[in-house]
Amino acid sequence: MKAATLTFLCLTALTSQTYASSPDAWAAYDKAVLASCTKASGLKDAKPVGNAAQFDDRVGYTALLLQGQYPQKHMKGAQGAELCLYNKKSKTAYVTEWDSIRPAAKVN
């Protein structure tokens, strides 16, 4: 498949998915994902890194990268990252450590 055709198909899929709900519905969904992922996170002051990745409904998940500080005393406030997968159907968040996404911060 040619790159231009593949790009067109991807953009068409994204566009049709984007217009499936109202802006208010998307804002409410994004807020629910952030709240659920933040609650499930083990990081202190967990904040999103960029925007959530909206997977097709056939996959059933939204992914969100979070960063914050490790709460354990021995970690001395080191920054950490977690990947959150939010299940659209069950409205449940699952997190896993994902520090390998960026260079590790030095612990003082």
Q: What is the pTM of this model?
A: 0.73
Q: What is the pLDDT of residue 88?
A: 96
**Cβ within 8 Å of residue 76, ≥6 positions away:** 107, 108
Q: What is the pLDDT of residue 7?
A: 37
pLDDT in tens, 5-61: 333 334 344 444 445 589 999 999 999 999 999 999 999 999 999 999 999 999 999
Torsion angle of the four alpha carbons 64, 67, 72, 74, in this order, in degrees rounded to the nearest 10: 140
Domains of the chain, by residue range, sit at: 22-101
pLDDT in tens, 86-100: 999 999 999 999 988
Dihedral sign computed on CA atoms, order 89, 92, 97, 99: positive
